Amino acid sequence: MDSCRPHQPPYFPALTGLRAIAAYMVFFYHNPIAAAANHPWIASIFGEGYLGVNLFFVLSGLLIYTRYHAYPFHEKGRYWGFLRNRFARIYPLFFLLTTATFLYHRHSNNDITTHQPLLAYFMNISLIKGYFKSYYLSGIMQTWTLTVEATFYLCTPLLLQLFKRPPLILLVIISCYLIGFAVWWQWGSNNNGGFFADLSFIYYSTFLGRCTDFFAGMFVGYCWQKQLRIKGFISYKTAKGCLLFVGIVAVQITVKGNWLSAVQSNWGLIINNILMPIAIALMFWGLITERGYFQIWLSSKPFQLLGESSYSFYLIHLGLISGALHRYCISNFTLQFIPLVLVAYGLYSFVEKPLNGWLRG
């Protein structure tokens, strides 16, 4: 049964819990369990763990819409206030860990993916590295996603305006893909640090390709805010979304061929960008409007704590801290999971959360 719309600002406990699942999917994508080496089907499942990033992007779109659809961006200072609050959420811990990463590698004379560390550092802390294929994995490798997220934040007022005329959304998605193609055609063949280097990079690693994730989340927020009910999707939305998600993963595993992950193939990338956002959106729609076992489980206190620290976990699951654990304590990356969860919660409690509150004033 659909629940009543919560008071503003809305809080969806199940989605907080799901953030932990998303972060752990990415962890096991980068660090598959040992059993995967002897069982190809297990390796195939872990090879799709990158979908945790999809979950984060769709969730971001949903939360931004539900919290800011009526926000007066046109008033003086409101847009900058919005950006300040969003960057207060993602930037401080990222900046500290990124700076520590570059200082460590500078001190140890370890070149961390580029012969121009100062330029790489600038691209990292300015959140523009995700536009350059030569630099997007520099520093803390997985933080290329923050470039996509920051681009979404910068475009938020315009994107929210589109929902006053929903049919325009499809036109904007097509326009994003055409712009991506045009940018690649103009600059992709030049050696500009890999700026929009190739179409696969553009459509997987930049907002121009991942816009479908954010729009899917925003559409769920739109339906929730308008209390819309679409025929055929009135009940069991969570179950239908989960089944569709699993089905698409099965198709992805089938089409990927010899690639490690499906998105490395053309068909896999198309399915990831077009069909997967639909499955995730349907699942999220169910989680915020229905009460069921999955929703109750994700809303439990343990998952709330894990979800709150999921961003910290995402930042440290590859990098200095995981490297130190590997070097001095736990050589098996999979066994680092529990220690990293504990360290992440500490970082959230004593660094991420206090700095966020301080910067918001």
Residue entry with tokens 């809303």? 299
**Tokens at residue 91, please?**
């930037």
Full pLDDT tens readout for the chain, 361 residues: 444 433 467 899 999 999 999 999 999 999 877 556 667 777 788 889 999 999 999 999 999 999 999 999 999 999 999 999 999 999 999 999 999 999 998 877 665 555 688 999 999 999 999 999 999 999 999 999 999 999 999 999 999 999 988 889 999 999 999 999 999 998 876 767 789 999 999 999 999 999 999 999 999 999 999 887 665 556 889 999 999 999 999 999 998 888 888 999 999 999 999 999 999 999 999 999 999 999 999 999 999 999 999 999 999 999 999 999 988 888 877 889 999 999 999 999 999 999 999 999 7
Q: Please tell me the distance from the alpha carbon of residue 124 to that of residue 143, in angstroms, as a whole number.
A: 8
Q: Please tell me the distance from the alpha carbon of residue 93 to that of residue 82, in angstroms, as a whole number.
A: 19
Model pTM above 0.85: yes
Q: Does residue 315 lie within any of the structural domains?
A: yes
Q: Does residue 77 lie within any of the structural domains?
A: yes
Q: Does residue 178 lie within any of the structural domains?
A: yes
Residue 225's closest CA among 12, 39, 1?
12
Q: Does residue 1 lie within any of the structural domains?
A: no
For residues 43 and 37, the answer to whether their CB atoms sit within 8 Å is: yes
Q: Please tell me the distance from the alpha carbon of residue 175 to that of residue 155, in angstroms, as a whole number.
A: 14
Q: Does residue 2 lie within any of the structural domains?
A: no
Q: How many domains does the chain have?
A: 1
**Tokens at residue 16, please?**
């907080």
Q: Does residue 4 lie within any of the structural domains?
A: no
**How do residues 322-359 score in pLDDT, each as one tens digit?**
999 988 888 877 889 999 999 999 999 999 999 999 99
Q: Please tell me the distance from the alpha carbon of residue 187 to that of residue 8, in angstroms, as a whole number.
A: 44
Query: Please, which residues bridge with residue 195 across strands?
Result: 132
Residue 284's closest CA among 210, 217, 227?
217
**How do residues 175-223 score in pLDDT, each as one tens digit?**
999 999 999 998 876 767 789 999 999 999 999 999 999 999 999 999 9
Q: Does residue 217 lie within any of the structural domains?
A: yes
Residue 339's closest CA among 313, 320, 319?
313
Residue 187's closest CA among 135, 243, 179, 123?
179
For residues 73 and 82, the answer to whether their CB atoms sit within 8 Å is: yes
Q: Please tell me the distance from the alpha carbon of residue 88 to that of residue 291, in angstroms, as a whole number.
A: 32
Q: Does residue 3 lie within any of the structural domains?
A: no
Map residue 195 onto helix, strand or coil.
Answer: strand
For residues 357 and 84, the answer to whether their CB atoms sit within 8 Å is: no
Q: Please tell me the distance from the alpha carbon of residue 35 to that of residue 40, in angstroms, as a whole number.
A: 9
Q: Please tell me the distance from the alpha carbon of residue 180 to that of residue 176, in angstroms, as a whole number.
A: 6
Q: Please tell me the distance from the alpha carbon of residue 50 to that of residue 322, in angstroms, as a whole number.
A: 18
The one-letter amino acid code at 334 reads T
Map residue 91 onto helix, strand or coil.
Answer: helix
Query: Please, which residues bridge with residue 132 across strands?
Result: 195
For residues 151 and 126, the answer to whether their CB atoms sit within 8 Å is: no
81: Cβ contacts below 8 Å, ≥ 6 apart: none
17: Cβ contacts below 8 Å, ≥ 6 apart: 297, 298, 299, 300, 303, 304, 306, 307
Q: Please tell me the distance from the alpha carbon of residue 124 to that of residue 73, in angstroms, as a whole number.
A: 28
Q: Please tell me the distance from the alpha carbon of residue 50 to that of residue 52, in angstroms, as a whole number.
A: 5
Its domain, for residue 177, covers 13-360
Q: Please tell me the distance from the alpha carbon of residue 5 to that of residue 67, in angstroms, as a whole number.
A: 13
Residue 51's closest CA among 293, 309, 244?
244
- Provide the CA 97 distance to its chain's centre, in angstroms: 18
